[in-house]
Amino acid sequence: MILTITLNTSIDKAYRLDGLLVRGSVMRVASCSDSAGGKGLNVSRSIKTCGEEVLATGFVGGNNGQLLCELLDSDGIPHEFVVVENETRCCINVLEPDGCSTEFLEAGREIHEDSLAQLEARVSALLPLVDVVTISGSIPPGLPATSYVRLISLAHAEGKPCILDTSGTALMDSLEALPTVIKPNADEISQILGKTTGTYDELLQAARELHTTGIAQVVISLGGKGALMACDEGIFHGTAPNIDVVNPVGAGDTMVGALAVGISRKLSAPEQLRFAMACATANCLSAYTGRFEKEVANRLLEQTTVEQVF
């Protein structure tokens, strides 16, 4: 089983427009769909789609928190959340007919540190039952910058691999805990290392440098040019087939879920990357945030290549 941790859950609303978004005007929404959101819950759906057992935890609160649990029930995803006082946030993704996507992300309401202690106790109780842990998204207001360090340390104490997918200071402050896998982009790599990493060769060296700090797998997205992975076996470049993107939102989360599945299935690191890229590409062919069809991913897997470059 794979445990997903999402501190900053949300109700994700996808607004589909018949025309283009016009600033300062009244826009009529052609259709709206709600889903249980926060990056880790997209990860949860990815894991379930891959056919693996998953359990979601984190924080929920208020009426939105209740709705979120109901939406997860509809998705068939088991969950054990810590209930907090404040309302779970909402995030909106506006999708235009030309494929343009505009997101409005609430920061989240304040969560008190005693709730983090409750979550740590819950995670500790669950860890003996799981194979892999994922931690995704931002840290809500009110919680310490060390929140992810504490959770990663719990996973390591139980000998469980832990994937961390976050950004900014939350990522910077958590690297000392040496998560098993991180998935920074090129800008975040530059911030971490304090130097420019704009070229392909610079990214290769940056991934290698981060790996030598004790992070088992460093995965760097290159956008349409694929992804890099630095690991004990070497540095690998994965390339997925070209597609006409329908909705890219959630593709990174799908990739994290598929990486967790690959680790759980004891695939080699290069095969983990190939599998994850195929699933993430399939996500981009779905109109729904953080969702994909397993059959599409299987077909794309045959067309996804991974080559050792160092």
What domains appear along the chain, each with residue ranges and CATH number? Answer: 2-22+29-308 (3.40.1190.20)
pLDDT score at 100? 87
pLDDT score for 249: 77
Q: What pLDDT, on a 0 to 100 scale, did the predictor assign at position 285? A: 92
Per-residue model confidence (pLDDT) at position 274: 98
Higher-confidence position of 67 and 93: 67
User: How far apart (Å, rounded) are the C-alpha atoms in residues 197 and 190?
Assistant: 6
Q: How far apart are CA 289 and CA 253, in angstroms?
A: 10
Find, among 46, 94, 72, the residue nearest to 283 by Cα.
46
pLDDT at 56 over 90: yes
d(CA 75, CA 73): 5
Which sign does the torsion angle of CA 16, 137, 2, 77 carry?
Answer: negative
Each residue of 253-279: pLDDT tens digit? Answer: 999 999 999 999 999 999 999 999 999
Q: Cα(231)–Cα(240) distance, rounded to whole angstroms?
A: 20
The pLDDT value recorded for residue 267 is 98
Provide the pLDDT for residue 262.
98
Query: DSSP secondary structure string, 118-167?
Result: HHHHHHHHHGGG-SEEEEESPPPTTS-TTHHHHHHHHHHHTT--EEEE--
160-215 pLDDT, tens digit each: 999 999 999 999 999 999 999 999 988 888 888 888 888 999 999 999 999 999 99
Q: Is 270 strand, coil or helix?
A: helix
Q: Hey, what are 159's tokens? A: 């000998």
- Calculate the CA dihedral of residues 143, 146, 148, 152 and round it to 10 degrees: -140
Q: pLDDT tens-digit profile of 215-238?
A: 999 999 888 889 999 999 999 999
Compare 300 and 290 and report the one with higher pLDDT.
Answer: 300
Q: What is the pLDDT of residue 101?
A: 83
Please report, to the nearest 10 degrees, the dihedral formed by the alpha carbons of residues 121, 125, 127, 128 taken in order: 150
Q: List, in sequence order, every residue forming a beta bridge with 17; answer none if it has no partner.
A: 29
Q: Is the pLDDT of residue 85 over 80?
A: yes
